[in-house]
Structure 1
Amino acid sequence: MPKHPVSRHVLRPLPLVITLAVALPAFAESSPQSHDHQPVDLTAVQVRATPLPGTTEDLVRPVEVLAGERLDAAKANSLGETVNKLPGVQSSYFGPGVGRPIIRGFDGARVQVLSDGLGAGDVSTVSADHAVSIEPFLAEQIEVLKGPSTLLYGSGAIGGAVNVIDGRIPEAATAEPLHGRAELRGGSVNNERTGMLRLDGTSASGNVVFHFDALHRETGDYDIPGFAESARLLAEEDETPDPATAGTLPNSAVRTDSGALGVSWIGDRGFLGVGYSLFNTRYGVPGHSHEAGDDHDHADAHDGEGHSDEGVHIVMDQRRSELRGGLDELGVFETLRVKFAQTDYTHTEFEGDEVGTVFDNSSKEARVELVHRPWGGWRGAFGAQWSRRDFDAVGAEAFVPATQGSATGLFWIGEREFGPLKLELGARHDRNEIDSAAQALAPQRRTARKFEAKSASAAVKWELNDSFHFSLGLDRAQRVPTAEELFSNGLHVATGTIEIGDDSLGVETANRLELGLRWHSERVQLGMAAYAIKYDDFIYQSTLEPLGEPGSVLTDGGTAVHLWNQANARFRGMEADATIALADNASGGWDLRLFGDIVRGRLDGGGSRDVDLEVFHGEHTHRHAARIALDGNLPRIAPARIGSELSWNRGPWRASVGAVRYMKQDDVAANETTTPGYTLVDAHLAWHKDSAHGNAWEIFLDGSNLLDQEARPHTSFLKDLAPLPGRGIAFGVRAFF
């Protein structure tokens, strides 16, 4: 059972608290306060994901930042959906409760999700139906590092990293003794009701600073255009759906509670702070149910109510304690930063009212960053990172054994300017150990592995003039296999497959070349990048075919068998983003944003190889002889996109309308179906009012999927069972005080 009992009354008074908070500005003292709600110049925002302070304009590596009004407009129920419109970034989808960032075609264990520089502590990489334990609505800044970020964050960031800044442990005194923000919002497509409150304050002495935040969200089953099952799946099953079941996706409701409290002591040369946070969410898994005999099938969409007794839902509970500290001016060192987090996480899968499988994860992580003054012209930072993870899965569908893992990494990153050239170098060495109870799932399997990974990077930026610069990046990054890739053996309900790990997997190595350019004038900002990545021993899940039966799929008891495997692979892609200031006159300010991206991923191993498999079921072991293809397209690669957005502002008003075209994805892997293209149109309208006391109000109206298109992301395991929500209108009020 879960370590932490699930309470449906967590933060129940929150709506009342928020209502009071919204009313608070009217009673605030008349002392003027500064509230800058103008659009944030994102090129000037400090990026905190790197120990060397810099902006997106200064950094050599490609980084995207969401903050201010742009972040407010992008915030969504999941982190993946929040960053989904950044060039080169898309989202996984397993219903509205689950969305993990996909960066340039990489997801899962190759994209690290961070809470202000430390891992989230969840198990969202274990399975596609596991949510990220970070609440985007409480973020004050989100940073996306595109390309290998292993130098900074180790093996799990070989494809990139997403760093969410929430300010839960203050590092400096606030500008006013007390300030904050609150938000109430509702939505039509899923009957959403969300409330959020954030408070930050400083004592009269200026030495004690506190932070408090809380959020409560409830949504019902969301509306869809048409039926849950795709036309292709209905035709394949020769099924005629009941018209009464159209228009709603059953078992797609979500309930989330999140909150945190942090306190810091601020001195003349540093700070020391502690924090505690919780994240609790309950969400349905659409398209999944369990019949007698533990068979896996898609949900019965014909109950007409959307809450089948056999529906699968997940309750996730996380508690996190953190300690952070910093010192400045340490002789030859500019700053010292120390971070530590301990996280207890429980993920419980319910089949109706019965507990199916429970995933427990306890993790500890520590990080030290020491920035040194220029040595021989090089300004840089040393870092050390340590983590430990104790993972356990109990239940009939625990396809991954209990594991204990530890990792230690040392790194250095430095930069130096040579006239118009800025050079960045870095290196990192990691040691990882994984011990497992794999023999409990499959006898005779290895139970422990040790790995070493080495990464190095060189990047240069050439400032041709003040408005035009080129960049060139070269990386050699390594990733060690995860416990799931090594030791899994059993039915993985989320993907509907039997998943078999390979305990002989080795380290994968990525060699990346990237060319980029940025240009800006008084009216235009343009960024472009092209990249190519060659992987040696790329780790992936392969579809198998029985020996002697070409073109068929290997099954065990009627369920497809997938094997974790290694082969060489190549990725290549391009992305571009442009913002054009069309006009700024009596009619208001008019801006046009255009963006697009494309990525392709293919195996490059050549030919095939034969394998002998052991599939362990209960007390029985089934042996299979199969063949693995070592070339062809990789599955669930994000499709190409083009998008545009026209924005306007005049006085207290601002508005925008945009559209993103997702292209048809027909570069598919073996036994993978193509996905039709679709267009998503959205719009935003907000009215902002500053009060006489220095506080502010904002009323907003947001529209999504305004064309009510049937949209099925190619990156989703549920694309034929769960389309994206249909047309929706969200509305609400924000208060800044």
Structure 2
Amino acid sequence: MPRQTLLALALLAALPLHAQQAPQATSPQATPPGSAPRHQDNAKDKHVKDLAGVVVTASALQDTADTLSKPTEVLSGARLDENRAATLGETVSSVPGVQSSNFGPGVGRPIIRGTDGPRVAILSGGLSSQDVSTVSQDHAPAIEPFLADQIEVLKGPSTLLYGSGAIGGAVNVVDGRIPDSPIDNGFSGRAETRFFGGDQGGNTTMARVDGGNDRFALHADAVYRHAPDYTTPDGRQQNSYIDTRSGALGGSLLGDWGYVGLSASRFNDEYGNPGEPGNPVLGERGVYLKMHQDRYEAKGALNDLWGAGNGLRFSLAHTGYEHTEFEGGQPGTIFRKNANEGRVEATFGSRDGWQGALGTQLSASTFLAIGEEAFVPQTSTRAYGVFGVARRSWDGFQLDLGARVDNVKSSPVDAASRDFRPLSLSLAGGWTLSDAWKLTLNLDRAERAPVEEELFSDGPHIATLAYEIGNAGLRKEAANQLELGLQYQADWVEAKVSAYYNRFDNFIYLADTGNTWYWEEGDQDLPVRQWTQANARFRGLEGEASFHLARNDSGDWDLRVFGDTVRATLANGGGNLPRIAPARLGAQLRWQHENWRAALGATRTSRQNDVAANETPTAGYTLVDAHLSRHFDSGNLSWELFADGSNLTNQVARVHTSFLKDQVMLPGRSVGFGVRVFF
């Protein structure tokens, strides 16, 4: 494919055929498997600097990102600060292979390698966020990116650790609400406020405080966000406002034995649906959603139970979720979900021989919709799974094995229940070819059980302007992925590129039947679509490279280039799959000198012509962004002034993956200013 070939050449052409000996980047020591993580830096440095080798908590063996054979990205430090946005999808969209859905600025779910919805798990501290964002594209995840310590993106099948809903990948938000290690100097925290001008007004303010000693630690955080309707190059985007309030309290008992802690959090969100803006001239308010979620968690780790570095991790969560969709100021459809989830992992072995982990995960949830858009019946879902992973490293070679089996039962009211037993297998290898080169190979067989909307839906789904019909006879969906990765690291460049081929058996998708259904309230015919299955193929390429251009009296100069592309089709000439993310190619020039940081970047999103039946192409666009910050230190207090500019050339940009792409544009030129304080 021409775009993939060009991307590969652009990323690899700059790399030498024969690598010179390069100093290896020093990484903080990885936490022993099953142990409570060690604190690596003081609070202010942890959020200002990018740390190499950050521990990936979503890994069963608590690896650092640079030692994993599986494709994993971690956003932390300054890079996370500069990418924080109102939605999780927008926050992680700078990662190659990851883009965001869009239903206005209040809704943005991660799309990983062309897959989204029930194929991408959104996790909070390793447990499901338990919202209803997979049921409909206008439902937002109940996650606050501004409170994250780090965000871990697992690309490709991740069902091995996180079950059926991670067949396309997982995004894990680590927020530190349950402290797992002593607080530096007994007290630390951060606060931030930012204001937006230009075409995207509003403000976001957050605060976080941690305190304690070697025996206990306490945590508190809060976020407030208000953003009015934004402006596009063609005028104001009506009913695109956001109002968010979120906060949590947590605490832990600590010791050499490990830790155990509790937390309670609340997430309130209100946002407009710009696809149904109402009529402001006549005083008619558009459709908007009010979300409320309460979540209670318990977590812990017990260290060295059966030998050094071997122990136990466990986590439990109860979530109560509800959101109401208001039409003309009156309550319309209500969506509710109550869920309980538990997880236990035990680790064995040593780093000099075989290492392994065994675990189990259980969940129970009840979903209920009330109102005219209740197109999915009340459904109870029960699931449990057991999994195991093993690793062995030899001189220059690392082997990873894994297996998981689940049992998933979905029981709708007044209909027969369905039982599924997904099985997942994984084989991964990593070869250290030299001090600079590393090759990885991943083979995965992952299965997914259909979710309630795919099985049991029957009614008008106004968010997508369609009448949806489920299929209770759906079978398990299976992904068979082969991925080859190449990494290069020297003192002047770090680069990595991955190519993958994913063959889906019994891929579940929403197909047009050719029939229509008359929607009386909207006075229009809606297309009738039914959930069906067919084999599908996903193949793609992604990569990035960071070049250290100069280190001199003028400062440090770095250039980052990245790109991704994915092609998704039904097998046997069945045509393209709908709403597949278009290819991207981007570059960013960064400069740092003493306490100054600056960046200027541009990302080209290509025109998407590979469309499904009854789907229209979407024009390409180029977004130019910039960042400038100045850091100050004063005793135990550090603070940072910053300015961010987005879409500086005021481009018309429409998101191809959105059902609202013809009605909703991305914001035009916008500039934001703010201050961060670390203590």
TM norm structure 1: 0.84
- Aligned equivalents of 2:440, 2:51: Cα separation in 1: 19
Which residue number corresponds to residue 625 of structure 2? 682
Report the 3-state secondary structure (helix = DSSP H, G, I; strand = E; otherwise coil) of the residue aligned with 2:131: coil
After TM superposition, give the deviation of residue 55 of structure 1 in Å: 1.5
Report the 3-state secondary structure (helix = DSSP H, G, I; strand = E; otherwise coil) of the residue aligned with 2:276: strand
Q: 1:284 to 1:34 in 2, by over 3 A?
A: closer
Matching residue within 355, 358, 362 for 2:334:
358
State the Cα deviation string for residues 612-638 of structure 1 (Å, max 9, x = none): xxxxxxxxxxxxxxxxxxx11000000
1:702 aligns with 2:644: yes
- Aligned equivalents of 1:605, 1:344: Cα separation in 2: 44
1:176 aligns with 2:118: no
Report the 3-state secondary structure (helix = DSSP H, G, I; strand = E; otherwise coil) of the residue aligned with 2:304: strand
Q: 1:365 to 1:34 in 2, by over 3 A?
A: closer
Q: Is the 8 A contact 1:213 1:259 kept in 2?
A: yes
Report the 3-state secondary structure (helix = DSSP H, G, I; strand = E; otherwise coil) of the residue aligned with 2:185: coil
Which residue number corresponds to residue 199 of structure 1? 209
After TM superposition, give the deviation of residue 57 of structure 1 in Å: 1.1
Report the 3-state secondary structure (helix = DSSP H, G, I; strand = E; otherwise coil) of the residue aligned with 2:231: coil
- Aligned equivalents of 1:425, 1:712: Cα separation in 2: 42
1:594 aligns with 2:561: yes
Q: Is the 8 A contact 2:217 2:253 kept in 1?
A: yes
Q: 1:327 to 1:414 in 2, by over 3 A?
A: same
| Partner amino acid, structure 2, of 1:372 | F
- Aligned equivalents of 2:306, 2:47: Cα separation in 1: 39
Which residue number corresponds to residue 489 of structure 2? 520
| Partner amino acid, structure 2, of 1:58 | T
1:224 aligns with 2:191: no
Which residue number corresponds to residue 260 of structure 2? 272
After TM superposition, give the deviation of residue 376 of structure 1 in Å: 10
Q: Is the 8 A contact 2:264 2:296 kept in 1?
A: yes
| Partner amino acid, structure 2, of 1:282 | E
1:211 aligns with 2:187: no
Q: How does 1:499-648 map to 2 (within 5 A)?
A: 499-545=468-514, 554-556=516-518, 558-605=525-572, 631-648=574-591
After TM superposition, give the deviation of residue 304 of structure 1 in Å: 5.6
Q: 1:735 to 1:40 in 2, by over 3 A?
A: closer
State the Cα deviation string for residues 219-251 of structure 1 (Å, max 9, x = none): 10001111xxxxxxxxxxxxxxxxxxxx11110
Q: How does 1:310-709 map to 2 (within 5 A)?
A: 310-332=285-307, 334-374=310-350, 377-437=353-413, 439=414, 446-545=415-514, 554-556=516-518, 558-605=525-572, 631-691=574-634, 693-709=635-651
Which residue number corresponds to residue 248 of structure 1? 236
- Aligned equivalents of 2:252, 2:636: Cα separation in 1: 26
Report the 3-state secondary structure (helix = DSSP H, G, I; strand = E; otherwise coil) of the residue aligned with 1:126: coil
State the Cα deviation string for residues 677-729 of structure 1 (Å, max 9, x = none): 001110000010001x2211100000001011110010111100110111101
Matching residue within 114, 118, 123 for 2:127:
118
- Aligned equivalents of 2:662, 2:43: Cα separation in 1: 50
| Partner amino acid, structure 1, of 2:299 | R
Q: How does 1:31-50 map to 2 (within 5 A)?
A: 35-36=44-45, 40-50=49-59
- Aligned equivalents of 2:348, 2:122: Cα separation in 1: 27
Give the length in aligned residue pairs: 632
Report the 3-state secondary structure (helix = DSSP H, G, I; strand = E; otherwise coil) of the residue aligned with 2:275: strand
Q: How does 1:44-83 map to 2 (within 5 A)?
A: 44-83=53-92
Which residue number corresponds to residue 12 of structure 1? none
Which residue number corresponds to residue 131 of structure 1? 140
After TM superposition, give the deviation of residue 56 of structure 1 in Å: 1.6
- Aligned equivalents of 1:722, 1:146: Cα separation in 2: 28
Gaps of 5+ in 1: 1-31, 227-246, 290-298, 440-445, 547-553, 607-630
Moved more, 375-384 or 534-543: 375-384
| Partner amino acid, structure 2, of 1:734 | R
Which residue number corresponds to residue 723 of structure 1? 665
Report the 3-state secondary structure (helix = DSSP H, G, I; strand = E; otherwise coil) of the residue aligned with 1:264: strand
Q: 1:383 to 1:37 in 2, by over 3 A?
A: closer
State the Cα deviation string for residues 570-601 of structure 1 (Å, max 9, x = none): 00000010000011111111100000000010
State the Cα deviation string for residues 165-195 of structure 1 (Å, max 9, x = none): 0000011111121110001111013321221
TM norm structure 2: 0.91
- Aligned equivalents of 1:477, 1:42: Cα separation in 2: 32
Structure of larger gyration radius? 1
After TM superposition, give the deviation of residue 33 of structure 1 in Å: 7.3
Q: Is the 8 A contact 1:35 1:694 kept in 2?
A: no
| Partner amino acid, structure 2, of 1:174 | I
CA RMSD of aligned residues (A): 1.6
State the Cα deviation string for residues 345-401 of structure 1 (Å, max 9, x = none): 001000022100000000000000101124993201001000011110000110111
After TM superposition, give the deviation of residue 421 of structure 1 in Å: 0.8
- Aligned equivalents of 1:689, 1:177: Cα separation in 2: 22
Report the 3-state secondary structure (helix = DSSP H, G, I; strand = E; otherwise coil) of the residue aligned with 1:286: coil
Which residue number corresponds to residue 104 of structure 2? 95
State the Cα deviation string for residues 416-472 of structure 1 (Å, max 9, x = none): 0122110000000000000002x4xxxxxx431011010000000000012110000
- Aligned equivalents of 1:403, 1:81: Cα separation in 2: 31
Q: 1:344 to 1:675 in 2, by over 3 A?
A: same
- Aligned equivalents of 2:201, 2:585: Cα separation in 1: 30
Residue identity over aligned pairs, in percent, reads 51
Report the 3-state secondary structure (helix = DSSP H, G, I; strand = E; otherwise coil) of the residue aligned with 1:362: strand
Which residue number corresponds to residue 273 of structure 2? 285
